[in-house]
Amino acid sequence: MLFNVVTLLALAPSVLAAITDNGDKKKRSVVPGGYIVEFEDVMSIASDTKSSFYSDLSDKQMNPTHRMDLSSSIFKGLSFHVDTGLDQAVVASDIQAMPIVRKVWPISLYDKQDFATAPWTNGSNSSSSSDTFSTHIMGHVDRLHAEGLTGNGTFVAIIDTGIDYNHPALGGCFGPGCKVAHGYDLVGDNYDGTNIPVPDPDPYSGCNEHGTHVAGIVAAGTNPYNFTGVAPDATLGAYRVFGCSGSSGDDVLIDAFTRAYEDGADIITASIGGPNGWTEEPWTVVVSRIVAAGTPCTLAAGNDGSEGLFYGSSAADGIGVIAVGSIDNIESPVFTTYGRYSIDNSTNGQFGYLAAAIGMPNVSLPLWAVSKDSTNAADACEPLPADTADLSGKLVLIRRGTCTFDTKAANVAAFGAQYILFYNNAPSLTSPSVTDPDIIGAAMVSADQGVSWAASLAAGSAVQVSIDGKLTVFSSPPNNVTGGHMSTFSMWNPTNEAYVKPEISAPGGNILSTLPLEQGGYGVLSGTSMATPFVAGVVALMKQARPDLDPYTIRSILGTTGHPVTFNDGKTTYNYLAPVVQQGGGEVDAFAAVHTSTVIDVANLAFNDTAHFVKEANFTITNRGSSDVTYNFDYVNAATAYTLPDDGSTQPQTFPPDLVTSGATVHLSSGSLSVAAGKSEVVIVTLELPKDLATARIPVYSGFIDIKGSNGDSLSLPYAGVASSLKDATVLDPSTGYPYITSTSDNTFVPLNSSTVFTISIANTTINGTTDNSTGLLIPNLRIGLVMPSSLIRADLIPSNSTLGTYTNTTTILGVKTLGAIAGTPSVYQPRANAWSTAFYGVLDDGTRVAPGTYSILVRALRIFGDATNPDDYDSAQTDPFTIRYVH
C-alpha cells in the first residue's frame, strides 16, 4: 500500500548547505491533516455515502471536518481535514484500508507561476485597429486577427485567482452575454490553501492581480494601450482557486477543473504548479483524464528554471497536457514614474524610476550617497562605518550589484534610513526586491542618473529629490538582450521518466496586460503564467477555425509548428538551439497552427535513456490538404545539456547548465516523400548517439526534424533523449547529510546527535498517535533529501544490538533484517531538490508500536527506472542511532 508522506514540508532553511533547501525556493508542501480520497468507481457520493464515511472516521477518533465534495464524471471523492494532533501516517494508512476508498492523498499546495509586478497606471484614452502588439507579432497572432479570427464562439476556462470582470477591457460584467460568462469562486477571499474554502458564485477578485492579468492575455478587448488578448472575442470562465494570498490545494484544483469541464469549456488553462515531474499526483491524474475526455488543457511549465534539468512541474507533467514554457518579449513594456530633483537650488531636472513592490511614497528629501564613487561595485554590501550620520531624514542613493538589495537595505536601515533609490549597474530598470521591514520606500533609477547624482554629491553639491507620483509614462523599448529567447526562469525537463516537456513556448517574460481596476487597470508581469494563457488563446483560435480538433491533435500541431529558438543565458545569445527540454517545440506560431494542412501524429519523439533506448521511433505525417504534397526531411541538433556539473558529482547544476554542441545523428526512412491528398505515411526515425559525451554527467540531447512541404508547410518535430542509463544516477547521497534525525518541535531541522533520548507520550492515544506539545516530550523526525527524483523511498526501522534482543521476529526487507517500515512510509513520487520530514511516534506501518529502545532508520530510495524488488536498485543510508522512551 503506497501513499504520500503526510507531514508538513517546512520552508525553513536547512542546516545542510549541500542541499538547496533555502526558503525562497518553491517547495512541495501539504495541508496539515488534509486529505483527498477517491472512492471506488461503483460508489457515488450520495449524502449517505459521505455521512457513513465520515462517521467511520469519527469512530476512529479522527474528528473529520468536511472540506469539499469532489463529484464529477471525472472524479468521485471528498476532501476533509482530520485532527492534526494525530499520527498522520497512521491516519493515512487507516483511510487507505477502508474498502470504499480507491486512493487517499494528502492535499498538496500549488502556487501561481508569476513574478512581481511592475508599477501600473490607468492610462489615457486612445485606440488603434490593426494588431501591432509585440507578443502577437512574435506568435503570428496578428496575421490571424487580420483574417478576422478572434476566438468568437469559443469558451476558455481560466483556473486562477478570479477575474476583475468590471474591467472595461474584460467586458465590464459577469454572466450570460458578458465576456466573463461563466465561473465560480471555489474558495473566498480568506482562503490561503490550508484552511477550509468558503465558496460563493461570484468569481470577482480585486485583491489578487494574477487572474485578471491572465484573462487579459487570453481575451482583453480594446483599451488605451492598444493591445488585445490573443482571442479577444472568446468567452471566459473564471474559476477562482486562490484567496487574496497563499496557495491552492489540489482538492480545490480538481474541483475547479472538473467544474470547467462540465460547464463545457473548449479549453481549460491554469498558470499554476509545483515541482514534481511524476504523473501520479491526483490533480495531474484528473487533468490527464479531462484531456482524454476531449478538452485540451494548457498548464504552466513552471518558473524554477534556476534549478536545472529534471525538474518538471505538476500538472504540466501530465500525459496529454500541453505544458507551456516562457519566451521573453521582444519589447520591455514599462510604466515609468517621474520625480524631480534640484542641485544646489538651481539646476532642476526630471528622472524616471521604477518602484519596489513595497512602493515609493511621496517624499521630498536631500539625497545622501553611501559611496560618492559610482564605480564602487559592492556599494553598501558591508556594514556602514560607526560614525555614519543619522539617515532618517535622507533619501539614500546606492549602486546596484554584488550583494542583494536587502543586504544593502539592512546596512543603511541600521542608521535609520527609510527611503532608498538604487541606481542600476546595467541598462534599463528593474523593480528592486526589498523586504527589510525598516524600509518604507524603495525604487530604482537608471545607471546614468545615479552616476550623475553621485558626481554632483562628490563635487560637494546638495541634491534635493521630490517624489509625488503624479507623472507616469508608458514606454515599450526593444529588448535586444533576451527578447525572443527562452526566459531564464522557464523550467527544464525532461520528466523523471524521460518524457519530453514542455510541448511549446510562448511570450511570457515582460507581458503587458490587464490588472484589477483597484490595482490600476494595467501592468506588466512575467512568468510561465503569462505564456500559458497565450497558448490557451491560440487554442481558442484553432478551435474557432477547426472545431473538430481533438486535444491530442491540437497538442501535436502546436508542438510541431513552433519555431525553435537559439539559447540565451540571460546575457548572451549563442549560435546553437536551446535544448528541447527547455523550449519544447520553440516559439508558438498561431498562424501555422491554424493553417497547416500537414499534421504529425505526435508532439515530439522521446528516445528515453540508453537502457530503454527507442531503437526505432516513427511518426505519421498526414496531408489534410486537397492536393498531393512532396515533403523533404532534414534535422538539426539543439545543444546537449549536462545535468550534473562534473563526473564526480551527484547534485544537478543550476541554470545555466553546461551545454555542448555534440548531438545525435538522425536517420530517416526517407529523405523525401510524396503524400497524396487526404493520405498518411509513416516515417521511421533512428538515432546514433554522440560518442564523445561524459555519460556520468547525465547528458540530455535533443533536436528537431525539419519537415518542408511543397505546399509551403514547414514543421519541426522535436526529439530528445538521455545519453546515459538513468538507473545509474544517484538519487540519495549521504554526503549531502541526508537522511538524519531531528525533532518535530524544531522547525529549523537541526540534526540531533546519537545520544538524544526521545520521549513519546502514549497517554492521549486516539489511534495510537500523540502530540508533542506537552512539556518535556521530544518526537523523532526523520528528514530526507534527494539529489535526483525517486518514485519509492523506504524507511525501515533497525533495532540496535542491545534492542534486538527484545524482538524474536524481525522481517527481512530487500535483504536487510528490520522491524518493518515506519508508519507513513514508504513515501512515493518525490521530486529532487526537496527535503521533507516524517515524524516517528514509535509506530510501524502495520500499526504495531515498538518497544522502548535504541534504533536507527535505514532509508532506501529507488533509483529512476529501478526494480523495486531488487535491493541493488536502491541508494541507501542509515541514520545515526537514537533512543525512544514512552510516557503514559
Ligand X SMILES: *[C@@H]1O[C@H](CO)[C@@H](O)[C@H](O)[C@H]1NC(C)=O
**Residues lying near ligand X in the complex (CB under 6 A):** 126, 128, 152-153, 225-226, 233, 344-345, 427, 462, 474, 477-478, 480, 497-499, 606, 608, 612, 618, 682, 684, 763-764, 768, 773, 848-849, 865
One-letter amino acid for residue 466 of the chain: S
Cα angle vertex 83, ends 81, 88, to 5°? 85
- Sequence-distant (≥ 6) Cβ neighbours of residue 238 within 8 angstroms: 158, 160, 162, 163, 165, 174, 180, 182, 183, 184, 203, 211, 215
Instruction: Return the number of the residue (52 or 764) whose C-beta is nearest ligand X.
Output: 764
Q: Using CA atoms, how far apart are residues 277 and 652, in angstroms rounded to an integer?
A: 15
Q: Quick check: is 160 catalytic?
A: yes
What's the one-letter identity of residue 875? D
Answer yes or no: 796 catalytic: no
Instruction: Find the catalytic residue in 81, 182, 210, 213.
Output: 210
Q: Are 331 and 134 in contact (CB under 8 A)?
A: yes
Question: What are the angstrom distances between the C-alpha of 447 and each of 340, 386, 421, 466?
Answer: 17, 28, 11, 19
> Which residue, 454 or 877, has its beta carbon nearer to ligand X?
454
In terms of CB distance, is 23 or 478 closer to ligand X? Answer: 478
Active-site entry in 79, 476, 513, 529: 529
Cβ proximity to ligand X: between 730 and 770 the closer is 770
C-beta neighbour count of 660 within 10 angstroms:
17
- Among candidate residues 111, 160, 164, 873, the one labeled active-site is 160
| Cross-strand pairs, 270 | 159, 299
Instruction: Tell me which amino acid residue 794 is.
Output: R
Residue closer to ligand X by CB (options 519, 770) is 770
**Helix (H/G/I), strand (E/B), else coil: 567:** strand
Contact of 419 with 432, CB cutoff 8 Å: no
Min separation Cβ 405 and ligand X, Å: 24
Gap between the Cα atoms of 199 and 50, Å rounded: 19
Q: How far is the CB of 532 from ligand X (least distance, A)?
A: 23
> 191, 127, 133: which is closest to 162 by C-alpha?
191
Other CB atoms within 10 Å distance of the CB of residue 662: 15
When the beta carbons of 152 and 407 are compared against ligand X, the nearer one is 152
608's grid cell: 528515453
**Least distance (Å) from ligand X to the CB of residue 256?**
27
Task: Yes or no: say if 270 and 323 are a contact pair by the CB < 8 Å rule.
Answer: no
User: What is the distance of C-alpha 60 from the center of its chain?
Assistant: 37
Nearer to ligand X, 239 or 841 (CB): 841
By C-beta, is 258 or 336 nearer to ligand X? Answer: 336
Burial class, 538, CB count within 10 angstroms (exposed 0-12 / middle 13-18 / buried 19+) = buried
**527's torsion region: left (phi>0), alpha (psi -120 to 50) or beta?**
left
Contact between 685 and 605 under an 8 Å Cβ cutoff? The reply is yes
State whether the Cα torsion 287-291-297-303 is positive or negative.
positive
Q: How far is the CB of 422 from ligand X (least distance, A)?
A: 20
Q: Which residue is nearest to ligand X (CB)?
A: 849
Q: Which residues does 377 contact at the CB level (< 8 Å), separation at least 6?
A: 399, 401, 402, 425
In the complex, least distance from residue 414 CB atom to ligand X, rounded to whole angstroms: 29
Which whole-number Å values give the CA distances from 198 to 113, 242, 307, in the listed order? 24, 11, 35
SS3 category, 137:
helix
Lookup: cell for 368: 545622501
Tell me the closest approach of the beta carbon of residue 128 to ligand X, in angstroms. Answer: 4
Closest CB to ligand X among 253 and 542? 542
Task: Compute the least distance from the CB of residue 736 to ligand X, in Å.
Answer: 27
210 carries an active-site annotation: yes
Q: How far apart are CA 421 and CA 785, in angstroms?
A: 40
Smallest separation (angstroms) from ligand X to the CB of 380 = 26
Residue number with CB closer to ligand X (386 or 763): 763
- Asked if residues 533 and 269 have their Cβ atoms less than 8 Å apart, the reply is yes
Q: Distance of CA 579 to CAs 131, 509, 557, Å? A: 31, 19, 19
Shortest reach from residue 446's CB to ligand X, in Å? 12
Q: Is the CB of 676 or the CB of 682 nearer to ligand X?
A: 682
In which region does residue 489 sit, left (phi positive, over 0), alpha (psi from -120 to 50) or beta (all else)?
alpha
Compute the least distance from the CB of residue 45 to ligand X, in Å: 29
Q: What is the largest CA-CA distance in the chain?
A: 93
CB of 810 to ligand X, least distance (A): 17
- Catalytic residue positions, numbered: 160, 210, 529
